[in-house]
Each structure stands twice: as C-alpha cells, then as structure tokens.
Amino acid sequence: MTTPTLKQSTLREHTRIHGLGIYRPEVIVTNEDICQWIDSSDEWIRQRTGIVTRHRADKDTSVIDMGEAAARAALADAGIEASQLGAVLVSTVTHPYATPSAAAQLADRLGATPAPAYDISAACAGYCYGIAQADALVHAGTAEFVLVVGVEKLSDFIDNTERTISFLLGDGAGAVVIGPSDSPGIGPSVWGSDGSKHESIRMTHSLLDVRELSLAALSEGPEALAAAAESAIWPTMRQDGPTVFRWAVWEMAKVAQQALDAAGIRAEDLVAFLPHQANIRIIDEMVKQLNLPEHVAVARDIVDAGNTSAASIPLAMHRLLSENPHLSGGLALQIGFGAGLVFGAQVVVLP
C-alpha cells in the first residue's frame, strides 16, 4: 500500500512589520505626585531613572480596552482588516484573569474570530517574544498576518508607598501587524531566560496566598477583613534593584550584540536603537557597550512614559518615528528584558 504524501504549509521566505499603533492613557503622573507616597524628590527620580512623568489608566480602562485601541490603530496603519489575521498574540502580565486570555477577548472585539489567540507572559521581554513567535508563524505559513500587542496596566499591581519598583511604572499599549515581505524585515530572534534569578522581580503574594489570607481574616470578622485589606493582601510588585541593574547592564548588551551578529548587521548599519524602557542609566550604558555611532537614534520614551513593561518597545518605536519620520525603512535593534528573568532581541526594518 502506498503511503499518501502529507501536505504541509507553504513556507514564506521573508517577513516584516506592516503596521504600528499605540495607546497612551490620558492620566499623567508626575514625580511630584509620586513624592506624595514615598520619601523622595523629583531630582532624585530624574537622576536615578530618567523619568519625569508616566501615564496611568483610570480604573474603568482595562488591559483589553488599551490593547484594542492600539490594535485598531496598527490594523489601520497596515491597511488590513481584522478578519485577515491568522493569529492574535497579547503580551501582558497585568490581565487580572488567569483565564480566559486577554487575546481571545481582544480577537472577538476586533472581529478576528476564529483566529487563534493566546497570551504571552514574558514581562518586559513580552513584545520581543511576541515578535519572535509571529515571525515564525508567518514564515511557516501558519498565518499570513499576525497581530502582536504589548499592553500593561501596571498601576493595578503596585503599592504606591514602596520604592523598589512602583514609582517606575506606567500603563499603555503598543501593537504591530507582522506579515509576509518581498525582502527581509525581521532578523533572527535571540531570546532566553534565567529562572535562577526569578526572585529579583516578583509579586508579594500568589493568588492562593490571597485566598488564604482573606479566609483567615474573614473568620475573625468584618473588621479584621478590612484591616487585612488595608495591609495589602492584594499582590503587588517588588524588585531587587541592584541585582536587576547589574544583570541588565552587563548581560543585555551581550544579547543585543548577539542579535546584531545573527542578523549580519553592524552597529553602524543601524538607524535606531529601541531598548526596553527600564531605566535611562541602563539605556545609556548599553549604548556605550555597543559602541553605537552618534547617527543612531536612541529611544528614550521612558522620560515621559516610565517603564511600561511589554508595551515599552512599540510605544518607544512610535514616538521615535513620529519625531523622526525619515527613519522609516531603516534598521533598528530592539531588545526587551525583565521579570523571569527573560530577554529577547531582534533587528527589524522600521515600518
């Protein structure tokens, strides 16, 4: 008996970014506002982080709301309909439900059903993880167009009175449409993780802890439950700043160089550098270690937006292109890194 020949998807040689869209919340939180909650100053925050303001969403605006706004802008920029999407990927760590995914709900809102949709939990590297997966899906012929959304509402998971990470964080969303191309538009992804340092950026409690603490307080009566709520049962973020800083400064420049090498690109070939907007000192040190020429535009969106985790790179890309439209079509090195610890980097052609 002759074994039938199995059909496979038609491979595509090249991919690129077809469209870009963002959403920035209207509420702006200044350093002076931050200093109401922590013993600090505008000068200290600027010197240590580079941040002057950050955007935060109001209580009625969700991760899905922000993601939808950015996604619709990206689809319009790409000139395609949601029905043409072969997959919807949402990178976020702040969707407040373990299930269903933000991606499935977003796909429904956009009219992308029945496109496969799933969330990516890779914190500040989430956008680059999404690009790596979208690139592979299009290459493999599994999808023609893939929507990648990086979106965070970090303000839902911060304790304003702690000073390891909360004063750094902002909210926002960025989205891109990845699709086929006649020429190379996305270089090989260099990505990975180091879970041995997972405690460096962490949550104060798990959801199981929340349940146990709440039940224990409830058994003691309403007053005890109210007191427990005041003592921050809700999980919020913390980080070991010095550990994260050293890791980012000394290890991520190596990853960025690996992405350049994998793409066959030299630093002088770049028109832009799009690092995760974690800290202005980390960005400046990476620029030095990579020996980037002066003509390379360096994204410093952190000054006005703060650290927006998975949203930071597309937000920074949008600002850079808005202020420097002549960079469109040039090569940019992008790198994300954060909780996990995880990292991802690619060289891309700017849309």
Give catalytic residues, as residue numbers.
124, 276, 307
DSSP-based three-state secondary structure for 227: helix
Helical residues (DSSP H) of 264-328, grouped into ranges: 280-290, 302-305, 312-323
Structure tokens at 147: 């929507």
Token pair 């977003």 is found at 106
Q: What are phi and psi of 56, to 5 degrees?
A: -135, 140
Lookup: tokens for 174:
């960025």
- Closest to 171 measured CA to CA, from 282, 295, 304: 304
Candidates 85, 86, 156, 90; CA nearest to 118 is 90
Edge-first strand listing for the sheet containing 85-91: 15-23, 171-180, 145-153, 85-91, 117-120
Peptide bond into 100 cis (omega under 30): yes
**How many Cβ atoms are within 10 Å of 40's Cβ, its own excluded?**
14
CA distance 107 to 312: 22
User: 161-176: string of b/e by CB count within 10 Å (b at 16+)?
Assistant: ebbebbbbbbbbbbbb
Give the count of beta carbons closer than 10 Å to the beta carbon of residue 74: 28
Burial group, residue 186, by CB count within 10 angstroms (0-12, 13-18, 19+): buried
Give the Cα separation of 313 and 277 in Å (integer).
Answer: 7
Asked if 191 contacts 340 with a C-beta cutoff of 8 angstroms, the reply is no
